[in-house]
A and B are shown apart, each in its own frame.
Chain A
């Protein structure tokens, strides 16, 4: 039987406010345990939450960026459960009337096709603390620094039909929240976390199958692997006559499998009710318009502009706008090199991104700045060096040997355009390869490539290829 996969994602983005959502404690990452957990975060008796203006502002910013309805009066609710990293015994979240309602996000797939994924809602809530299960002789250690950190939970519609689509959606969202400056996107530090609801159904069936919720999948690679594993598992269960159970499953990256979390069934009985400590949050039409005016150029707009202004195709434009930093880098290279955007694009997507990948660096950490790369491209453009030599220069710049001009100077890489010098090399080569010269003159024109190669080798790549070509043809036909 042919199966169809149905996926919806819930993504928790940590908002990059300075202070917590309901208290004045710092949200800075990596502090000593419990040094950023105040009375409100600890849930001590008699404290009251006071909502952070910036958290509301950032949520509205997101809503506007995905064309969502913003709820004029949204409500905070208590989600009740007991766990030691949640000292109050409830998490302040939103249930009915979340701040951001229905919106949408466009994703582009590998084959270039575009698909719109619905966003069901996005709501504000507080994060819990961290439990450390090791090293405490049968006890669990609790660090409440993270407790009360503002989160925006973004819930998608079950619109994705493959792991590839899920990853594309997640990447798009990851890029968007960083573009609009509401989240630092740091997945290692847990600033961007993903749960996936996965089910399968026979192709053509309208009703959804029973879904499993996958937790703990915090990299793009793991999302893909976890979903693929889970889809196979569910199909196996059904095809061998069993039934998928609705449950929460944990992805284990080491074993590359998902396994059931032994949660008691009532653990999902959260008994939500409106939090009496908090009044409805008002967002006016004026507020929304003001936020709209503050939004930077969004990824899709930038992509369309790149395609129109720089004559890039969709794929190139998508890569170059994958982050705000990449887009800025690329545009700086164009300006600095005063060269065709296409050449700049090739360098950014080729040498630069290859080197970044190899060293596992982000573009903002690149040892070769956009100005330096621009300077290099300018030297190709004005024929100081050939494209091939430029790769050597790039490598030297990457290793900290200075900018393009310094490297070219120090290594003596300047292209030889002196026809006399080139002619001399050509004469030597022709004299040393009389058999090949005969073949060429007998009509085997492919031999030209051989001569060009020899000359370039002899000149250590520095001879201007166009001049070499012309001189060779001239000499061979004389």
Chain B
């Protein structure tokens, strides 16, 4: 499966990546090559292989339900571009 320009534009938009018009054909080729590799893997017979959700063959370790974090708002908000009344301010978002 090969991707065209519009596919690349859509993917870039979903990921909020800015792309130059001139770069699009190159990205389309690179991404198509990745898909080709996947197709190649698809050809392998995996009927007897159990699918894995993670390359590590282990189970998730769990944490006790305890509050271990203290309030560090001031610390975190030092690096925020804009704050007010304890809130992080961002450009207006309207749904």
Interface residues of A (CB under 8 A from B): 17-19, 23-26, 32-39, 42, 44, 50-56, 73, 75, 80, 82-84, 97, 131-133, 136, 138-144, 261-263, 266, 269, 271, 274, 276, 278-282
Interface residues of B in 61-81 (CB under 8 A from A): 61-69, 71-73, 76-77
Q: Give the 5 A-B CB pairs with smallest separation, nearest first.
A: A24-B68, A141-B87, A54-B65, A53-B62, A33-B86
Q: Are A279 and B54 in contact (CB under 8 A)?
A: yes
Q: What A residues does B94 contact at CB under 8 A?
A: 133
Which of these binds chain A: B10-18, B29-37, B40-48? B10-18
CB distance from B59 to the nearest CB of A (A): 4
> Is B95 in contact with chain A by the CB < 8 A criterion?
yes
Q: What A residues does B1 contact at CB under 8 A?
A: none
| Assembled-state Cα–Cα distance A141/B89 (Å) | 5
Give the dominant DSSP class at B's interface.
Answer: loop
| Assembled-state Cα–Cα distance A73/B56 (Å) | 14
Pick the residue among B10, B58, B61 that contacts A50 (CB under 8 A): B61
> Is B90 in contact with chain A by the CB < 8 A criterion?
yes
Which residue of B is nearest A50, CB measured? B63
Q: Are B88 and A141 in contact (CB under 8 A)?
A: yes
Do A280 and B53 contact each other (CB < 8 Å), given the known contacts A34-B73, A138-B92, A139-B89?
yes
Q: Are A131 and B63 in contact (CB under 8 A)?
A: no
- Count of inter-chain pairs, beta carbons less than 8 A: 133
Do A34 and B95 contact each other (CB < 8 Å), given the known contacts A24-B67, A53-B63, A54-B65?
no
Q: Are A279 and B60 in contact (CB under 8 A)?
A: yes
Q: Are A139 and B66 in contact (CB under 8 A)?
A: no
Q: Are B92 and A133 in contact (CB under 8 A)?
A: yes
Q: What A residues does B22 contact at CB under 8 A?
A: none
Residue among B69, B73, B90, B91 with most chain A CB within 10 A: B69
> Is B85 in contact with chain A by the CB < 8 A criterion?
yes
Q: Are B84 and A136 in contact (CB under 8 A)?
A: yes
Do A142 and B68 contact each other (CB < 8 Å), given the known contacts A39-B76, A269-B14?
no
Q: What B residues does A263 contact at CB under 8 A?
A: 95
Q: Are B59 and A279 in contact (CB under 8 A)?
A: yes
Do A51 and B63 contact each other (CB < 8 Å), given the known contacts A132-B87, A139-B89?
yes
Q: What B residues does A34 contact at CB under 8 A?
A: 73, 76-77, 86-88
Do A33 and B87 contact each other (CB < 8 Å), given the known contacts A75-B53, A281-B59?
yes
> Is B49 in contact with chain A by the CB < 8 A criterion?
no
| Assembled-state Cα–Cα distance A263/B93 (Å) | 12
Q: Are A32 and B86 in contact (CB under 8 A)?
A: yes
Q: Are A140 and B91 in contact (CB under 8 A)?
A: yes
| Assembled-state Cα–Cα distance A394/B88 (Å) | 52
CB distance from A313 to the nearest CB of B (A): 42
Residue among A24, A39, A282 with most chain B CB within 10 A: A24
Q: Are B59 and A19 in contact (CB under 8 A)?
A: no
Q: Are A37 and B73 in contact (CB under 8 A)?
A: yes
Q: Are B93 and A140 in contact (CB under 8 A)?
A: yes
Pick the residue among B10, B61, B95 that contacts A261 (CB under 8 A): B95
Q: What A residues does B91 contact at CB under 8 A?
A: 139-140
Contacts A131-B93, A140-B93 known; 16 new A-B pairs at CB < 8 A: A18-B67, A19-B67, A24-B66, A34-B77, A37-B73, A38-B69, A53-B64, A84-B88, A138-B92, A143-B86, A261-B95, A266-B13, A269-B14, A274-B53, A281-B62, A282-B60
Pick the residue among A18, A73, A262, A276 that contacts B59 (CB under 8 A): A73
Q: What B residues does A51 contact at CB under 8 A?
A: 60-63
CB distance from A284 to the nearest CB of B (A): 10
| Assembled-state Cα–Cα distance A32/B77 (Å) | 14
Q: Are A280 and B54 in contact (CB under 8 A)?
A: yes
Q: What A residues does B93 contact at CB under 8 A?
A: 83-84, 131, 133, 140
Q: Are A35 and B84 in contact (CB under 8 A)?
A: no
CB distance from B89 to the nearest CB of A (A): 4
Q: What A residues does B6 contact at CB under 8 A?
A: none
Q: What A residues does B62 contact at CB under 8 A?
A: 50-53, 56, 281
